[in-house]
Amino acid sequence: MPSFARIGWIASALAALFATVGHMDSAWADLKDFGNRLEGTLNRGFTEGDVEVVSFTGSSISYSKENPAILDVWFFGSSAGLTIRARELSPGLFYSMESKPGKWTAGAWNNLGPWSTKDMLIPLGVQPSNLGVVVWLDKPRGLVAPAFVGASPNAASPVRYTVVLRTTKPGSLEFWLYKQGSNDALLTGKRGPFEKDVPQRIELPIDGAVSDGEPLELVIQPTFDKTLPPASTYTFVHKKGRSK
């Protein structure tokens, strides 16, 4: 497999987050502390680099004004740099949620919760269809854990992962899904042409060729105005879910 660059990231603290985004002039945020997370709005949306993954999930998200929910974000694994982030897929309200440091367990299922939709999501009018969640285990190394938002994943799930990304420029992209260490792609695809800031959805169906606990690599190669920036590689572990 060719050598691909990984997207960079610094710490999860809010001040450091703003420091990484050089184009956020006079940035401010209206975020409330809910004990396990900071949640609210930013002054405007932003994208970290040419390509930003805004959602990496193994389940759908469900709630409504008539049927509010107490959400949990389930994920497998842990690391010192773990950060859970929620953003709008199409930024308009500039909603933001970021986890605070928690006690996570390596090699096990963990969860962030409770995350009440009555606190910010419903009052702000964020629709579940426009909400993305990413669990970064180690963003500098491109390590991500698929998020299961809502009920705990069962032993039969998932059958597919959904990745949503945005770009700062119009263009197109190609993607490949590999078993870690293999040059034979399990899945390939293309998206585009598309305009900047338009969410691009990538579906990753998982079949019997992938074992429980097997690490996979998603490689994304964008093309902007006939230029080829470095590709990004995201590594994650396929887990079937909790057995009980």
* Percentage of the chain modeled with pLDDT above 70: 84
Please count the structural domains in the chain.
Answer: 1
Instruction: Please report where in the chains the tokens 């950060």 appear, as a residue.
Output: 83
In a domain, 80, yes or no: yes
What whole-number percentage of the chain has pLDDT above 90? 70
Higher pLDDT, 37 or 51: 37
User: Nearest-CA neighbor of 138 among 23, 20, 38, 8?
Assistant: 8
- With a cut of 90, say whether residue 11 has pLDDT above it: no
Q: Is residue 56 part of a domain?
A: yes
Q: What is the pLDDT of residues 153-177, one digit of tens each?
A: 776 666 899 999 999 899 999 999 9
Residue of 56, 106, 61 lying closest to 84 (CA atoms): 56
Mean pLDDT of 186-215: 94
Do the domain assignments include residue 229? Answer: no
| pLDDT tens digits along 97-115 | 999 999 999 999 999 999 9
Spatial separation of the C-alpha atoms in residues 10 and 178, rounded to whole Å: 26
Domain that includes residue 63, residue range: 14-169+199-204
Indicate yes or no: pTM above 0.95. no
Alpha carbon distance 22, 27 (integer Å): 10
Q: 126 in a domain, yes or no?
A: yes
Q: What is the pLDDT of residue 10?
A: 28
Mean pLDDT, rounded, for 35-57: 85
Q: How far is CA 174 from CA 183, 189, 190, 218, in A?
A: 16, 6, 4, 11
Helices of type H across 110-177: 121-124
Task: Answer whether residue 81 is part of any domain.
Answer: yes
